[in-house]
């Protein structure tokens, strides 16, 4: 199955933080972790202005509670509206 976002939305694969242990050695359970706020853009909607600024493969920083989570092929993805995209991460 393929998902193509419409209008001013992007399909993002959130990137989980790798660190599950604090500096003092305590393990952080999954239920206590914050939701990911960075992700890799998989697809961009049909909005021409958005397509000029954001492309598939870009890394973005998005609003903490932004977008809608969906499940696709065992992965959790997010469909995020343009207003929830805070920044593009450049190397």
Q: Which residues contact 75 (CB under 8 A, 6 or more apart)?
A: 13
Does the residue 59 lie in any domain?
A: yes
Is 54 contained in some domain? yes
The domain total for the chain is: 1
pTM: 0.80
Per the structure block, which two tokens stand in for 72? 């696709």
- The DSSP symbol for 47 reads -
Residue 52: give its domain's CATH number: 2.30.33.40
Segment 17-67, tens digit of pLDDT: 666 667 777 777 666 666 668 999 999 999 999 999 999 999 999 998 889
The pLDDT tens digits of the residues spanning 53-81 come to 999 999 999 998 889 999 988 899 999 99
> Alpha helix (H) ranges present in 11-88?
48-53
Among 58, 65, 63, which residue's Cα sits nearest to residue 13?
58
The whole-angstrom separation of Cα 15 and Cα 59 is: 10
Residue 88 included in any domain? no
């Amino acid at each position: 199955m393929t998902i193509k976002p419409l209008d001013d939305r992007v399909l993002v694969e959130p990137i989980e933080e790798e660190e599950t242990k604090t500096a003092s050695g305590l393990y952080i359970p999954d239920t206590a972790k914050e939701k990911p706020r960075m992700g890799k853009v998989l697809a961009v909607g049909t909005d021409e202005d958005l397509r000029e600024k954001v492309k598939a493969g870009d890394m973005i920083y998005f609003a903490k509670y932004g977008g809608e989570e969906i499940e696709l092929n065992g992965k959790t993805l997010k469909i995020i509206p343009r207003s929830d995209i805070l920044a593009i991460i450049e190397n």
